[in-house]
Amino acid sequence: MTLTRKPVAFGDLRGWIETLRKSGELHEVNAEVDIDFEIGTIMRLAQGPGTGPAMLFNNLKGYNKPDSRCRRIFGSSLNNNRRIAMMLGLPPETHPRDLVKLGRTILQDAIAPRIVKDGACKENVIAGKNVDLAELPAPYWNRLDGGRYLITYAGVVTKDPTTNVMNVGVYRGMVTSRNTIPILMWRAQHIGHHVTEWRAKGAKEMPIAVAIGWEPSMGFCAGSPVPKGICEYDVMGAIRGEPVDLVKCETSDLYVPASAEIVIEGMLGLEEDTYQMEGPYAEFTGYFAGDRSPKPTIRVTAITHRNDPIMRGTIEGCMPGSYSENAMISSIFRSSTAWNVLDRAGVPGIVDVWGPPVQAGINLNVAIKQSYRGQAKQVANALWGSSAAHVRYKQVTVVDDDIDIHDYAAIDWAIAYRVNAGENDIVIMPATFGLGLDPSTRKRDRDPTLFGTGKWNRVLIDATINLDYDPDPEFGGTRYPPTVWPSKEDEAAARARWTELGLDKLKRG
């Protein structure tokens, strides 16, 4: 199937919310809800396995006075494939397989942003001593969180001091005082590269801006691996089919979407004695990461916001029955990335790639058209040898192209009857780099300060038909017996009588 995108510029967060409302994708909560634990619990329970609605909370305890600075929280909008398709300008019913295919190229397109003089995000400007982050609703999303998280799904903007190219990433941030927010940023992320470059120039602080609440492409691009040197604003422009209007910050020369709901401007401390304690926080694995430690901290210099702004937040951490926005998006785009890795490595016959949302590509399924012995091992080797495998693709299952990898029962059946551990179908690649957040790795082995990375013992499950077996004359020269499924002719003849036999009403078979 060839996908034709009709890019949509929603205008701002409000335009996106309006689109969702009209399409029946939004659930508004008008009853009073507590931002301490209750809102997070409701969102986690309501999101379901990719089936829940986007949610707008209109009545927040402690933030529902007429003069409260920010009175609403919006979230859960991209934890569903229908809404991911809508963001990309595709029909809501687009199959995830097609989203994966589109994801192979979507982050490479660009429409440069447009600089404008003013924007709605400047309707209110609070600077210097007047800044008080407590005026913004930063929920305690989970009981075990280390504090209130204001930055959960925002665009964190920094720039390279030499090239001036900006980067927009999602990095969580916890409020520690009226004007400080330590953030979690891994050194390998693009913001980490900027930190290194500013430090090399002798800077003690680096300008930073946090844009909260805009069109869905902002969180999507900021949370995705847009290649270094390409600014996420360009990719956001390509996704919406129009340039993103940007305004200059009040206290730095960074630029933010002009119609963002809230912008937090500040300086990120680069010296370790300015770090503040941050964490723990619910992680994407569905577990809390025991990572309370001193982190680089934003010293807030200004807050600007629209009139009656809407806070954008997300509930992080994915579990069976409750899929997060991060998990739904990662599932698609980590699959796309894996497919590109396999193509670049020259592995032939790749038919489909899929890492289901519940584990967001930690386990990856690949369907191939086998043409020679050892092809499944080539798949695993290519994936594990790529840097994309650092935090993904721990278990790789390879099946033949008659298996639908979007159907777990089909994969399970292939594993049951096409895997023989005594015939090298289970291969362990021990002690590779890996995700530092995986609790199945001993704590010491995933200490990034000791080893720079986690440690994974990876597994290939080769559930393809073994081409090492001899062709069997009894089965007409194939290596495996025929399945019990009827021939095409017998099936067509039976289907032709389906209605006559009253079987169409059973909705089965």
Ligand X SMILES: Cc1cc2nc3c(=O)[nH]c(=O)nc-3n(C[C@H](O)[C@H](O)[C@H](O)COP(=O)(O)O)c2cc1C
- Give me the least distance between CB of 78 and ligand X, in Å please: 9
Footprint of ligand X on 143-202 (CB under 6 A): 153, 167, 169-172, 184-186, 189-191
For ligand X, which is the closer residue by CB, 314 or 363? 314
**Cα 347 from Cα 383, distance rounded (Å):** 10
Q: Is the bond preceding 96 in cis, omega lying within 30 degrees of 0?
A: no
Instruction: Decide: helix, strand or coil at residue 319.
Output: strand
For ligand X, which is the closer residue by CB, 151 or 342? 151
Binding to ligand X by residue 282, rule CB under 6 A?
Answer: no
**Cα 225 from Cα 247, distance rounded (Å):** 24
What mask, x for binding ligand X by CB under 6 A, covers residues 373 to 392?
--------------------
- Give me the least distance between CB of 18 and ligand X, in Å please: 23
Instruction: Decide: helix, strand or coil at residue 298.
Output: strand
Amino acid, single-letter form, for residue 120: A
Amino acid, single-letter form, for residue 105: T
Which listed residue (79, 217, 224, 331) binds ligand X by CB under 6 A? 224
For ligand X, which is the closer residue by CB, 131 or 226? 226
- Give me the least distance between CB of 403 and ligand X, in Å please: 30
**Helix 325-344 with 96-103: angle, nearest 10 deg:** 60
- Give me the least distance between CB of 171 and ligand X, in Å please: 4
Q: How far is the CA of 423 from the CAs of 419, 420, 453, in angstroms?
A: 8, 5, 32
Applying CB under 6 A, the site for ligand X has a residue count of 19
Residue 80 burial (C-beta neighbours within 10 Å; 0-12, 13-18, 19+): buried
Under 8 Å between Cβ of 68 and 53: no
Residue 413 sits at the vertex; the CA angle it makes with 327 and 391, to the nearest 5 degrees, is 30
- Give me the least distance between CB of 352 and ligand X, in Å please: 24
Please say whether the dihedral angle defined by the alpha carbons of residues 390, 392, 394 and 395, taken in this order, is positive or negative. Answer: negative
- Give me the least distance between CB of 331 and ligand X, in Å please: 12
Q: Where are the alpha helices (DSSP H) in 215-279?
A: 216-222, 232-240
What mask, x for binding ligand X by CB under 6 A, covers residues 57 to 86?
------------------------------
Under 8 Å between Cβ of 126 and 302: yes
For ligand X, which is the closer residue by CB, 136 or 156? 156
Instruction: Report the chain's C-alpha Rg in angstroms.
Output: 25
Which listed residue (52, 119, 155, 223) binds ligand X by CB under 6 A? 223
For ligand X, which is the closer residue by CB, 272 or 470? 272
For ligand X, which is the closer residue by CB, 281 or 376? 281
For ligand X, which is the closer residue by CB, 16 or 378? 16
Q: In what order do the strands lie in the sheet with 114-115?
A: 114-115, 245-248, 255-257
- Give me the least distance between CB of 326 and ligand X, in Å please: 4
Tell me which residue of 146, 317, 336 sits closest to 225, measured CA to CA: 336
DSSP structural state of residue 354: E
- Give me the least distance between CB of 278 and ligand X, in Å please: 9
| Element (DSSP H or E) covering residue 13 | helix 13-22
Which listed residue (11, 161, 225, 349) binds ligand X by CB under 6 A? 225
How far from chain centre, in Å, is Cα 226?
12
- Give me the least distance between CB of 82 and ligand X, in Å please: 18
First to last CA, the chain: 25
For ligand X, which is the closer residue by CB, 50 or 119? 50
For ligand X, which is the closer residue by CB, 185 or 258? 185
For ligand X, which is the closer residue by CB, 184 or 347? 184
For ligand X, which is the closer residue by CB, 179 or 330? 330
Of the ranges 223-231, 304-312, 342-350, 448-456, which one interacts with ligand X (CB under 6 A)?
223-231
For strands 180-182 and 124-127, give the pairing. unpaired
- Give me the least distance between CB of 209 and ligand X, in Å please: 14
**Helix 375-384 with 325-344: angle, nearest 10 deg:** 120
Footprint of ligand X on 295-354 (CB under 6 A): 314, 316, 326
- Give me the least distance between CB of 133 and ligand X, in Å please: 18
Task: Kindly list the residues in this chain that would bind ligand X in the complex (CB under 6 A).
Answer: 153, 167, 169-172, 184-186, 189-191, 223-226, 314, 316, 326
